[in-house]
Amino acid sequence: MASLIETLESAIRTIPDYPKPGIEFRDITTLLGNARAFRRAVDELVQPWAGSKVDKVAGVEARGFILGGAVAHQLSAGFVPIRKKGKLPHDTVRIAYSLEYGLDEMEIHKDAILPGERVILVDDLIATGGTAEAAVRLMQQIGADVAAAVFVIDLPDLGGAAKLEELGVPVRTLVSFAGD
């Protein structure tokens, strides 16, 4: 039986020079389409919190929705979508954050997380950490206790996981691709 890392790495497609020359894009759509790899990834993301109190799982649009929904199901927790500005239909709280090429904004429903609820943030990949850091700050703004942030992929050379840990949020990643 292949190790977890071998299973996941072999299921992740690397697309060179996307979205610009010199970038190696790590595409998890191939992992999501591989039932065995998808199941192992979800099981590993859930494992540290199985049996503990997790009220909500928050997923960042869009791959974080897929992974976060599966993690929430396994933990018997609610799911909270964090979306780009203008996509949620009810009263929202918004935060602006920096991207490599400018600014963006994300939102969460004001009533999605009650003050003090324990939440785990889920997304497919952490790189520079800008999106994840904004998501953590957004949830904290409405009173969430962000217990952890979990990702399938870490690009450690870009420092995103360290940014979250500086905020006091433990980070769990399943595979790392150095040099990206």
Which burial class, exposed, middle or buried, applies to 18 when counting CB atoms under 10 A from its CB (0-12, 13-18, 19+)?
exposed
Sequence-separated (6 or more) residues with CB below 8 Å from residue 73 = none
Mean pLDDT over 149-158 rounds to 97
Strand ranges inside the chain, DSSP E: 13-16, 24-27, 56-60, 78-84, 92-99, 102-109, 118-126, 145-154, 171-176
Give a yes or no: residue 3 inside a domain: no
Give a yes or no: residue 39 inside a domain: no
What percent of the chain is modeled with pLDDT above 70?
A: 98
Contact 161, 129 (CB under 8 A): yes
Give a yes or no: residue 140 inside a domain: yes
Q: Domain of 135: which CATH number?
A: 3.40.50.2020
Instruction: Name the token pair of 141.
Output: 């703004």
Give a yes or no: residue 112 inside a domain: yes
Residue 180 confidence (pLDDT): 63
Annotated catalytic sites, by residue?
63, 100
Question: Chain-wide mean pLDDT for the chain?
Answer: 95
Residue 100 confidence (pLDDT): 67
Give a yes or no: residue 14 inside a domain: no
Write out pLDDT tens, residues 105-138: 999 999 999 999 999 999 999 999 999 999 999 9
SS3 of residue 95 by DSSP: strand
pLDDT at residue 43 is higher than 90:
yes
Residue 105 confidence (pLDDT): 94
pLDDT at residue 47 is higher than 70:
yes
Write out pLDDT tens, residues 82-93: 999 999 999 999
Sequence-separated (6 or more) residues with CB below 8 Å from residue 166 = none
In the Cβ-directed half-sphere of 80, how many Cα atoms lie within 13 Å? 30
The pLDDT confidence band at residue 99, using thresholds 50, 70 and 90, is confident
Instruction: Name the token pair of 125.
Output: 């990949």
pLDDT at residue 56 is higher than 90:
yes
Looking only at the bridges linking them, the beta strands covering 24-27 and 56-60 are unpaired
Mean pLDDT over 43-55 rounds to 96
For residue 148, the enclosing domain spans 52-176
Give a yes or no: residue 106 inside a domain: yes
In the Cβ-directed half-sphere of 45, how many Cα atoms lie within 13 Å? 32
What type of residue is 62? A
Residue 178 confidence (pLDDT): 87
The pLDDT confidence band at residue 29, using thresholds 50, 70 and 90, is very high
Give a yes or no: residue 61 inside a domain: yes
What predicted TM-score, i.e. pTM, was given to this entire model?
Answer: 0.95
**Closest alpha carbon to 171 in 37, 55, 162:** 162
- If one counts the domains in the chain, the total is 1
Query: Does residue 179 or residue 22 have the better pLDDT?
Result: 22
In whole angstroms, what is the distance from residue 118 CA to residue 94 CA? 20
pLDDT at residue 17 is higher than 80:
yes
Give a yes or no: residue 34 inside a domain: no
